[in-house]
Structure 1
Amino acid sequence: MSAPGQRIAVTGANGFVGRAVSRALLARGIAATGLVRAGAACGPDVEVRVVEGLDALGPEAFAGCEAVIHLAARVHVMGEAASQAEAVLEAYRAVNVAGALGAAEAARRAGATRFVLMSSIKALGEHDPGRPFTEDDERRPPDAYGVSKAEAEVRLLEFGSRTGMEVVVVRPPLVYGPGVRANFLAMMNAVARGVPLPLGAIDARRSLVSVDNLASATVECALHPAAAGRVFHVTDGEDPGVAELVRKLGEHLGRPARLVPVPPGWLRGMARLAGKTAQIERLTNSLRVDSSRIRETLGWRAPQTLDQGLAVTAEWYRSKQR
């Protein structure tokens, strides 16, 4: 559904997801324009436009672009000071809410007709309500990052209704793939080093999405007529248990995972003593996400299975260790 000469702007095109989205656009014959700060490097064949920040965006940043994929955001950081909760929330809002709205208005003034917001499953919650989350579930964000994403969704969908801009919201769960950082990389490091992990008794199930699957779905949301004004969850289509996921990673890394079957109640107790309750709650509670809407509405299918996504991630990891 792409047209010759089509161009789409990607804010945050230099990031983990941004690079994958740019590759996916180019693979479909769509020109990619990356809006990034000075000194940031984008992928090959991406037109780079340097911007000072989201609060400084004007229509000229989006000139010639039919649509925008908005990835730039203040990302979630573990352990942000609870004593400064209000200041932390305002910092998230300044970038993730006001910044996103400013970008949408600048894009509209430049003539862009569609704006795709990369949100997060954290707009709904930290763990599922006993069944997979659907797009219609009530937003109950658990922290400042989730609050900012939930507010951005509401404000942008209202903006679209008011102005005619076609706003689309994409909500991924945990994103992994070549170049992944944070907790997923830490887990790979532990498995590769043979560190015993007390996760053998954890049967909580977690939805994931490979970065290439997320990029493919996001591009579809930027192009498909039926996506306008909708919210879509994107996953690999599988919800592995935590222990199962670690075992699969070990298989692909060529290093069997050393899983110790510690009862979840013991883990929670030890976590409280160590001040790591939030991290353990993430591992011991299920976070399943229903992504049937994007398949049924847009006809999208994930290019990679979970095993394929883990395989290319493990290959990237091994290549970095050589």
Structure 2
Amino acid sequence: MKVLVTGATGFIGRLVVRHLREAGAELRLASRRPEKLGPGNDTVPMPNFDAPAAAFLALTRDMTHVVHCAGLNNDRGNATEADYRAANVELSARLAHAAAAQVSGRFIQLSSIRAVIGARVSATIDENTLPAPQCVYGRSKREGEIRVLSAYALQGRSDAAVLRLPPVYGSGMKGNLATLMRLADTGLPLPTGALTGIRSLMSSEAAARAVSHLLAHSAPLRPVYVGADVPPVAVAAIIGAFRSGLGRPPRLIAVPAGLMRPAAAVLGRRAFWDSMTATQICDPSLLVSEGWLPETGTLERLAEIARLGKSRLLA
């Protein structure tokens, strides 16, 4: 089995590489920073979205499968709509067209629940959730999904799949989870008791295992899968877990949301507050029914991430 992994130096991509290597796969690693991958690898630079078709054909030549982790995440505050479209739509489409033409096996694309739901909406998400992205990032991920699946459909193939992920945690995480951990690392009381939202999260290790599973399991691929740890966890409990790992007392104060929302608006953090009070539950039943095992110790793992992060800072 020869697998092309794009975004091989990324937050999830590097774990996908490790899991596939441990499974005995032969790998080709594509990255915009191939120097970070070190010697001894079949390493290639990731082409730009506007590179000639020959560059993508060369990238995918002799491969059995493709795992497409490369993309522009929503933790880049200075990214424009054009940036998101180039990275998440056009690049994905060009890669998928080349792979559909000459790669014999499967194409797994990492996506996000932002492709179907906004951060401030409360809902349960599964493979049948009607897409209604509400941000530039989400729209780019949804269009990228469409373009990848369409590229395979044009070749009469059904062996491409999209794996939609909730917020992913692990060493090196960014975004709202990193913000919550920074908030937790203070001795001051926090008015987080009013954060009534319940959220599905997923460990980076579980995401990498899901990719390996989708490549290896014998059942025909479905077009879309949703991953998540089980059960979902309360936002206040997430902060509590971080505080536990950081050695801080809980000190979570229940302040009515009606008081906190105006204060958050004054501080320019209304969108963040609303996202933390929304309930978004991802249902990974389809993956589980096909033999994948979800992570079940979310809060314990969050506490451990905080503890290890603090230990590195003190070392």
For the criterion TM > 0.5, the same-fold answer is: yes
**CA distance in 2 between partners of 1:237 and 1:44 (Å):** 38
**CA distance in 1 between partners of 2:162 and 2:43 (Å):** 24
**CA distance in 2 between partners of 1:253 and 1:217 (Å):** 29
Cα distance, 1:68–1:90 mapped onto 2, change above 3 Å: same
Residue 309 (structure 2) pairs with residue 314 (structure 1)? no
| Structure 2 residue identity aligned to 1:12 | G
In the other structure, the counterpart of 1:285 is 278
**Percent sequence identity over matched residues?**
31
| Equivalent of 2:219 in 202, 222, 226 | 226
**CA distance in 2 between partners of 1:44 and 1:319 (Å):** 30
Partner-residue secondary structure (3-state), 1:200: helix
In the other structure, the counterpart of 1:73 is 71
| Equivalent of 2:287 in 288, 294, 318 | 294
Partner-residue secondary structure (3-state), 1:193: coil
Instruction: Note the C-alpha offset of 1:68.
Output: 0.8
- Contact residue 7 and residue 33 of structure 1 kept, 8 A: yes
- Contact residue 158 and residue 223 of structure 2 kept, 8 A: no
- C-alpha distance after superposition, 1:58-92 (max 9, x if no partner): 212123321111111122146559xxxxxx33332
Structure 2 spans left out of the alignment, 5+ residues: none
Which residues of 2 match residues 205-220 of structure 1 at below 5 A? 205-220=198-213
Cα distance, 1:218–1:258 mapped onto 2, change above 3 Å: same
In the other structure, the counterpart of 2:28 is 33
Cα distance, 1:92–1:227 mapped onto 2, change above 3 Å: farther
Which residues of 2 match residues 235-250 of structure 1 at below 5 A? 235-250=228-243
In the other structure, the counterpart of 2:127 is 135
In the other structure, the counterpart of 1:256 is 249
Question: How high is the TM-score relative to the length of structure 2?
Answer: 0.89
| Structure 1 residue identity aligned to 2:285 | S
| Structure 1 residue identity aligned to 2:310 | R
Question: How high is the TM-score relative to the length of structure 1?
Answer: 0.88
Partner-residue secondary structure (3-state), 2:280: coil
Instruction: Note the C-alpha offset of 1:130.
Output: 5.2
Cα distance, 1:13–1:79 mapped onto 2, change above 3 Å: closer
In the other structure, the counterpart of 2:183 is 190
- Contact residue 14 and residue 40 of structure 1 kept, 8 A: no
How many residues of Structure 1 are paired with residues of Structure 2 in the alignment? 310
- C-alpha distance after superposition, 1:192-245 (max 9, x if no partner): 332432211222100000000011001211222425242111111121111111
In the other structure, the counterpart of 1:47 is 42
| Structure 1 residue identity aligned to 2:298 | L
